[in-house]
Amino acid sequence: MNQECETALACAPDGVPMPDSAAGSVGEMETCAVLAVMPAFNEAASVASVVRDVLAQGVDVLVVDDASEDDTARAASEAGAMVIRHAVRLGAWGGTQTGLRFARRAGYGCVLSIDADGQHPVDAIPELLAPLRDGSADVVIGACTERGSTLRHVAWTLFRALSHLKVRDLTSGFRAYGPRAVKCLASRQATLVDYQDLGVLFLLAENGMRMQEMHVPMRPRKTGHSRIFNNWFAVADYMVYSFLHAVWKNRHISRIDRCKT
């Protein structure tokens, strides 16, 4: 039975039940229990259909309702998802980390992050999980490099050059995390990250995670809009944060390289 729990903290409450499929050894990648974590804010119009589609793939679903003002939590629960409700808004990454911490406590070894707006192709989930199951990757990113504006592509090119990250799609939220990555991203250190793209990728790279990208098509949103790119102030804040983060990381890497020589 699904149960809604409210929490203002990025941790999983004890009240949310653990499904039977979460049992077993998380160290055995071939049988790694998978939880789809779906952060959602005011996604009542789309979340139910996405939840049902993911459940049809044989993957348990946790919707983290980020203090929505609509019936997101009810729609998700009625569709068959477990639901955690934030009492205050923590943002997309705060919701994802709530799910990651819940996954570790509930015995899930792998986590799939997926949006609640219907953009991510659910039928690509088996392909995204395959490198985790065969042990060839710790993180698999569903990449769609053709999406977005020219400005976004220019920004990606700049950030890649500054950060030395070998990732083409820096902002995709469609990702599969193996046990090592889940442990890394559920840590207190990861709480300091503001956005789920560059900061998270830096943290994963610093901790030696093996990352792969897999091309997937991105669908138009069923409803709503981007929480980052919905107004010029949000875009400016994101760009400045990401630019400074990339510059700092570039200087940090350069300093390490000089020390090695």
Least confident range of 74-78, 84-88, 203-207 = 203-207
Domains plus CATH for the chain?
4-260 (3.90.550.10)
Q: Is the pLDDT of residue 131 over 70?
A: yes
Helix (H) or strand (E) holding 7: strand 4-7
pLDDT tens across 152-194, in order? 667 666 666 666 777 887 888 999 999 999 999 999 888 766 6
What is the average per-residue pLDDT within 89-100? 93
List the beta bridge partners of residue 177: 111, 139
103-124 pLDDT per residue, tens:
999 999 999 999 999 999 999 9
Cβ pair 52, 80 in contact under 8 A: yes
Per residue in 53-67, pLDDT (tens digit) is: 999 999 999 999 999
3-state secondary structure of 65: strand
3-class DSSP string for 156-201? HHHHHHHHCCCCCCCCCCCEEECHHHHHHHCCHHHHCCCCCCHHHH
What does the pLDDT average to over 22-29? 44
What is the residue type of 165?
L
User: Computed over its alpha carbons, how large is the radius of gyration of the chain?
Assistant: 18
- What pTM was computed for the model? 0.77
List pLDDT tens digits, range 225-241: 555 555 545 555 555 55
The confidence band for 144, taking pLDDT boundaries of 50, 70 and 90, is confident
Q: Which residue has the higher pLDDT, 140 or 152?
A: 140
Q: How far apart are CA 99 and CA 105, in angstroms?
A: 10
* Residue 97 identity: Q
